[in-house]
A and B are shown apart, each in its own frame.
Chain A
Amino acid sequence: MSERKYPPVTGIAMTSLALIVAGGIYLSAHLPQHVPIGPAVVLLVLSAALMAYNIYSLTRVKDFPWERFFAVAKWSFLAYLVIAGLIEYAFLHNHLSGAPLVVLTLSLLIFAVHVPTLLGFTVARYYDPSQEVAGAPAG
């Protein structure tokens, strides 16, 4: 198995996802009543910062197999964009508006970007060009 050292992308991504999930639950648990938006905004900003750091840390990895990363990430981004769109549709259909809608929409956007990032990273980290040749030693 690859012995290369990578930044803790999975742990950071899970923390980032947990933050937007917590923000979503906070808002959903109060809706449709008025809800103080501050805590949800803080969670969203922290989650976005972690996602930005994750992507930045990946760009710092030398010889990272970006081709393999994007081969997976682009299709999964499409899939998770559709999923996020369906959830957004449920919010819009219920006339959600204003700051809660903005926070939930941005949370869904982070979800739709960060999950494909994680999928692409998990596949790319195990990429070994020698495995692509039949008969070559693996690992």
Chain B
Amino acid sequence: MTDVALPPIELHEAPPAGPPIEIPDFEIVPRAGLVFAAVAAVALIAAIASNKLWPLEFLHVSGGAAWTIIDLFLGLVLGPIMGAMPVPARIQFTTRLMPKMVVIMPIVVTLTLAAGWQLSTKLGTNLTVHPLHGWVVASMIIVGVMSVIALGLLEPANIAVLIELKKPRPNPEVIEHLMKRFVYSAGVLGVMQIATLVIMTKLGSG
């Protein structure tokens, strides 16, 4: 579950004595986004209850695709681009992107995992006798490691950066420290998502 790969703010980029950097007003957790998350959660419950192939495939594949692409794109493409941005532009971008990630990533990950478990039960790929069972276990291990990194490092830093930016006088050192966590963790997660793609395409092709 990647949040956002934000390169560290280098303090020497900021002018030593100039006007304070403008930080736009923002919601740490966008309330409007919670409605979409709730709708997705209800869809997940309905899909599991119906136990029909198409809704489960839809939620697992669309959720998994979103999770993988967001991880790869933010970690390996957008991160370096943001590194080249001036600090005020980076803050403007961060305060618009990261609150959305707070809502999007947890529900996307939940959709993928819960629908995936139900799908594997329906298809029998989580049975030890299934010929592809080893691949399913491998995917569980990779997702498990990714979850620990995301929950332990990325998510807390994501929330802490947003709360720091909400303060009347945010501390640049704290923001820099927390953003470094994003860079290194997101890089690891981006690489691990490539392994997920390999496993899932193998499972899909039988």
Chain A interface residues (CB < 8 Å from chain B): 1-2, 10, 13-14, 17-18, 21-22, 24-25, 28-33, 72, 75-76, 79, 82-83, 86-87, 89-91, 93-94, 115, 118-119, 121-123, 126, 128, 130-139
Q: List chain A residues, Cβ under 8 A from B153.
A: 10, 14
In the complex, the number of residue pairs spanning A and B with C-beta atoms less than 8 Å apart equals: 122
In the bound complex, CA of A80 to CA of B197 (Å): 26
Of chain B, the residue at the smallest CB distance from A125 is B160
Q: B195 to chain A: closest CB distance in Å?
A: 15
B148 interfacial by beta-carbon distance below 8 Å: yes
Is chain A's interface secondary structure helix, strand, loop, or mixed overall? helix
In the bound complex, CA of A132 to CA of B170 (Å): 9
B160 touches A126 (CB 8 A): yes
Q: List chain A residues, Cβ under 8 A from B199.
A: none
In the bound complex, CA of A119 to CA of B44 (Å): 26
B173's partner among A1, A25, A89 (CB-CB below 8 A) is A1
Q: List chain A residues, Cβ under 8 A from B62.
A: none
B171's partner among A10, A135, A138 (CB-CB below 8 A) is A138
A89's partner among B48, B167, B168 (CB-CB below 8 A) is B48
B147 interfacial by beta-carbon distance below 8 Å: yes
A94 touches B121 (CB 8 A): yes
In the bound complex, CA of A126 to CA of B164 (Å): 8
* CB within 8 Å for A83 and B173 given contacts A72-B163, A118-B151, A122-B157: no
Q: List chain A residues, Cβ under 8 A from B127.
A: 32-33
Give the B interface residue count (CB, 8 A): 45
B41 interfacial by beta-carbon distance below 8 Å: yes
Of chain B, the residue at the smallest CB distance from A76 is B159
Q: List chain B residues, Cβ under 8 A from A33.
A: 127-128
In the bound complex, CA of A46 to CA of B144 (Å): 17
Q: List chain A residues, Cβ under 8 A from B157.
A: 122
In the bound complex, CA of A13 to CA of B152 (Å): 7
Q: List chain A residues, Cβ under 8 A from B145.
A: 21
A28 touches B140 (CB 8 A): yes
B110 touches A83 (CB 8 A): yes
A123 touches B160 (CB 8 A): yes
A128 touches B144 (CB 8 A): no
- The residues in B between 90 and 133 inclusive whose CB is less than 8 angstroms from any CB of A are 106, 110, 113-114, 117-118, 121, 126-128, 133
B160 touches A136 (CB 8 A): no
B126 touches A82 (CB 8 A): no
B141 touches A25 (CB 8 A): yes
Q: A76 to chain B: closest CB distance in Å?
A: 8
A10 touches B152 (CB 8 A): yes
In the bound complex, CA of A22 to CA of B141 (Å): 8
A1 touches B152 (CB 8 A): no
B144 touches A25 (CB 8 A): yes
Q: B11 to chain A: closest CB distance in Å?
A: 11
Q: A64 to chain B: closest CB distance in Å?
A: 15
User: Which 6 A-B residue pairs are closest in the complex by CB-CB distance?
Assistant: A122-B156, A14-B152, A134-B168, A21-B144, A138-B169, A1-B173
A93 touches B48 (CB 8 A): yes
A90's partner among B29, B41, B118 (CB-CB below 8 A) is B118
Of chain A, the residue at the smallest CB distance from B118 is A90
